[in-house]
Amino acid sequence: MHIEPERHRAPFISLTPLIDVVFILLVFFMLATRFGQFNDLPVNVQPADTSTDQQDDWLVVQVTANGALMLNGVSFTPASIADRLEKQGQKVWVTVSPEVSLQLALRAVDDIKAAGARDVQLELLP
């Protein structure tokens, strides 16, 4: 009786599961990635017992809950801030009421800086 030896085939590895995993990872990273521009915001924190004086050369601007800016009780839009600055290089003190979101406050500070203010201080109340 003649018995043939069993032939060993080379193992076959399917690439289909590997491709599936790669596509799942690709979709995950595409959905988890944020393609926004992030800017650093320098923050100078002062201790609570020391406060910066609001001198006469500071222009005090208030940010209301709807995002409007107020100067001496007169409301104006952020687009017209350049007309409200008395001179280029004006120092501006921005006060924010508690119901204003941080995004609106920072947008107001950015608009005031873009209008040519030299020094902009943001006062956030707890």
Q: Is 109 exposed, middle or buried (0-12, 13-18, 19+ CB in 10 A)?
A: buried
Domain of residue 108, residue span: 58-124
Contact indicator for 61, 89 with CB cutoff of 8 Å: no
pLDDT of residue 80: 77
Domain membership of residue 37 (yes or no) is no
Domain membership of residue 105 (yes or no) is yes
**Per residue of the chain (126 residues), what is the pLDDT tens digit?**
677 777 777 778 888 999 999 999 999 999 988 777 777 666 666 655 545 555 567 788 888 888 788 887 788 876 777 777 766 667 888 888 888 888 888 888 888 888 887 788 888 765
Domain membership of residue 80 (yes or no) is yes
**pTM of the predicted structure, to 2 decimals:** 0.55
pLDDT of residue 50: 47
CATH number of the domain enclosing 81: 3.30.420
Domain membership of residue 6 (yes or no) is no
